[in-house]
Amino acid sequence: MKLKELADKLGARLDPPDATAEIIGVGPIDSAMPGQVTFIANSRYAALAGATGASALIVDDKFPAAGKPLLRIKNTQYAYARAVEFLHQRPREPRTIHPTAVIDPSARIGGNASVGACVVIGAGVEIGEGCTLLPHVVIYRDVKIGRNFFAHSHVSIREECEIGNNVLLHNGVVIGSDGFGFAKDDKGEWYKIPQTGKVVIEDHVEIQANCCIDRASLAETRIGRNTKIDNLSQVGHNCIIEENSMLCAQVGLAGSTEIGKNVILAGQVGVAGHCKIGDGAIVTAQSGTHGDIAAGSMVSGSPAFDHKQWLRSVTAFTRLPELARPPPSTSATGP
């Protein structure tokens, strides 16, 4: 599309306003080619603008002139995401049901569905219109799913779970596996506690590859609206994650954890069971929490505590060998 058209779609201010480049894609700043647009999120990287081969740049309002057309907008990263959507649309799956799919006669699937090879859909399943189920997706009995559901290959959804509208599950995601619950019997051996609850996933949730969301032992495990969960994350039974939170790669939540709204758990964060993390909290990478975290906090370390105090502590820790070294000996000499 013409650069002016792209600017209009993004709500950006074109500088200069009469720039006429034609844009065919989006590229990274260090390898973009003519015909592509790229973005720079921070004016500190202005020097890169002169070296890029891109025909135009998405930048903020304060970015200096760069000798090529600029699309000026407040939220550059969001504009970049939308530009990719406009210019790199993914191929659509055929809206058909593959002959090898096994669908129970009692299942109900909405219109405009795409069901791939070797998909299995159990009894009593209800799926809204516009679903896409890629090969080898398995949906157990009595699952309820909303509109525009997209499941990549080898997704498994266990019995009686509920999924809202516009949910995206990536390869290998397991929804509703048994929670990890065991009690010791009178002989001291582990005895399985039946996991009779379900998982409820609200609208606009995305769960990436090989994540496991355990069903509740009783009642439900719930993933709130617009929450995003990165690869290889584990959500234990009876956890509650409220809306618009983000769990980065390899996060692990033990059972009955409560995560508030707009929380960010960075990579490899571990949260002990029955903890509450308040709205807007940030837990930095590889931290471990063993208690409640107040709303708005930023914590680091294991056990996690205030991030600024943790930075000071780490600085002191690196000096411990120097502090522990004994002072050089002094020998007295006689007259």
Across the beta sheet with 162-163, the strand order is 108-109, 126-127, 144-145, 162-163, 198-201, 220-223, 240-241, 258-259, 276-277
User: Of 66, 87, 108, which residue is a domain's last?
Assistant: 87
- The answer on pLDDT for 331 being more than 70 is no
Q: Are residues 179 and 30 in the same domain?
A: no
152, 170, 204, 237: which one is catalytic?
Answer: 237
- The answer on pLDDT for 334 being more than 70 is no
Say which DSSP state 318 is in.
Answer: H
- Is 80 in contact with 26 (CB distance < 8 Å)? yes
- pLDDT band, residue 36 (cuts 50/70/90): very high
Average pLDDT over residues 291-300: 96
Residue 323 domain-assigned?
no
62-69 — which CB contacts under 8 Å span 24+ positions?
Answer: 65/15, 69/3, 69/14, 69/15, 69/16, 69/19, 69/21
Is 237 noted as a catalytic residue in this protein?
yes
Q: Are residues 82 and 201 in the same domain?
A: no
- The answer on pLDDT for 320 being more than 90 is no
Q: Are residues 304 and 161 in the same domain?
A: yes
Task: Report the percentage of the chain scoring pLDDT > 90.
Answer: 84
Average pLDDT over residues 116-120: 98
- pLDDT band, residue 47 (cuts 50/70/90): confident
| Overall number of domains in the chain | 2
Say which DSSP state 324 is in.
Answer: H
pLDDT of residue 190: 98
pLDDT of residue 330: 62
Residue 68 domain-assigned?
yes
**71 compared with 327, residue with greater pLDDT:** 71
Residue 273 domain-assigned?
yes
Per-chain mean pLDDT for the chain: 94
At 174-183, the pLDDT tens digits run 999 999 999 9
Q: Are residues 64 and 162 in the same domain?
A: no
Report the CATH number that the domain containing residue 220 is assigned in CATH: 2.160.10.10
**41 compared with 137, residue with greater pLDDT:** 137
Average pLDDT over residues 139-148: 98
Give the domain extent around 61. Answer: 3-87
- pLDDT band, residue 50 (cuts 50/70/90): confident
Neighbours of 37 (CB within 10 A): 26
CA dihedral 284, 289, 291, 293 (to 10 degrees): 10
